[in-house]
């Protein structure tokens, strides 16, 4: 399973079993290849902080074994910041992010890259907005 973002109540997410697919129990979206390192670069850009500081904005919440899968919870500070982003600003944020990050690992042409990153940010922003509207919900990343 590729890396996914999911929206859920923390206690329910943390009760996932190792062989259980979160997609069966929670609203999920593919991260489209946008892995933790790239997300951390986005967080640093949006918060105006160093990469090392931004690494703490995804907290390990569940580790099934030393080999994964893992569940990371997005920090409320980042949820607040992302929920403030206007849809009209996503294209500009994407452009700056793709110019300032190492995106070659995604193996995409420039136009496809912009589309994938915009889609990722759009989905993430909307999950964060839902989390703000319904405070019992949190944003997580499930990684194998």
Query: What are the tens digits of pLDDT across the range 34-87?
Result: 999 999 999 999 999 999 999 999 999 999 888 889 999 999 999 999 999 999
In the block, tokens 């967080």 appear at: 43
With H, G, I as helix, E, B as strand and everything else as coil, classify residue 6: strand
Quote the number of domains for the chain. Answer: 1
Q: What separation in angstroms does the CA of 4 have from each of 13, 30, 32, 88, 144?
A: 13, 4, 8, 24, 9
pLDDT in tens, 2-27: 799 999 999 999 999 888 889 999 99
Residue 73: closest CA among 30, 1, 135, 9: 9
Domain that residue 38 falls in: 4-143
């Amino acid at each position: 399973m590729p890396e996914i973002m999911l929206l859920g109540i923390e206690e329910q997410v943390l009760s996932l079993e190792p062989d259980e697919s979160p997609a069966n129990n929670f609203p999920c979206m593919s991260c489209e290849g946008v892995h933790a390192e790239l997300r951390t670069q986005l967080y640093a850009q949006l918060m105006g902080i160093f990469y090392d500081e931004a690494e703490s904005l995804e907290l390990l919440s569940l580790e099934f074994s030393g080999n994964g899968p893992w569940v990371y919870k997005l920090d409320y500070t980042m949820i607040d910041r992302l929920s403030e982003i206007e849809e009209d600003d996503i294209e500009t944020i994407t452009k700056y992010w793709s110019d300032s990050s190492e995106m070659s690992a995604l193996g995409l042409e420039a136009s496809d890259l912009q589309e994938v990153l915009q889609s990722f940010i759009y989905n993430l922003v909307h999950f964060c907005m839902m989390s703000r509207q319904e405070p019992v919900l949190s944003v997580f990343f499930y990684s194998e």
